[in-house]
Amino acid sequence: MKVLVIEDNPEIQEAVSLTFELNWPDAKVLAALEGSAGITKAETESPDMIILDLGLPDMEGFKVLKEIRGFSDIPVIILTVRKDEIDKVRGLELGADDYIVKPFNHMELLARVRAVLRRSHIPELKGTDMPFVTQSLTIDFAARTVVKLGKQVRLTPTEFNLLQYLVRNEGKVLSHHALLAKVWGEEYTDATEYLKVYIQRLRDKLEDDPANPRLILSERGVGYKFTKPD
Ligand code: CA
Q: Is the pLDDT of residue 83 over 70?
A: yes
Structural domains present in the chain? 2-120 (3.40.50.2300), 132-226 (1.10.10.10)
Q: In angstroms, what is the span from residue 99 Cα to ligand 1's centroid? A: 15
DSSP 8-state symbol, 124: P
Residues 66, 22: contact at Cβ < 8 Å?
no
- What's the pLDDT tens digit per position in 186-220? 888 888 889 999 999 999 999 999 999 999 999 99
SS3 189: coil
CB 208, CB 222: distance < 8 Å? no
End-to-end Cα separation, the chain, in angstroms: 45
* Beta carbons within 8 Å of 88's beta carbon, 6+ residues apart: 99, 193
Confidence check: pLDDT of 57 > 90: yes
Q: How much distance in Å is there from the Cα of 80 to the middle of ligand 1?
A: 7
The pLDDT assigned to 128 comes to 64
CB 203 within 8 A of CB 210: yes
Work out the pLDDT band at 54, boundaries 50, 70, 90.
very high
Q: Residue 41: left if φ>0, alpha if ψ -120 to 50, beta else—which one?
A: alpha
pLDDT at residue 55 tops 70: yes
**Ligand 1 centroid – CA 101 distance (Å):** 12
173-175 β-sheet, strand order:
173-175, 223-226, 216-219
User: Residues whose CB is under 5 A from ligand 1 (ion)?
Assistant: 8, 53, 55
Alpha helices in the chain (DSSP H): 10-23, 35-44, 61-69, 85-93, 106-120, 157-168, 176-179, 192-206
Mean pLDDT, residues 139-147: 91
pLDDT of residue 124: 67
Kindly tell me if the per-residue pLDDT of 104 is higher than 80: yes
Using the predicted structure, report yes or no on whether residue 126 has a pLDDT greater than 80. no
Residues near 113 by Cβ (< 8 Å), separated by ≥ 6? 3, 49, 51, 77
Q: What is the mean pLDDT of residues 10-22?
A: 92
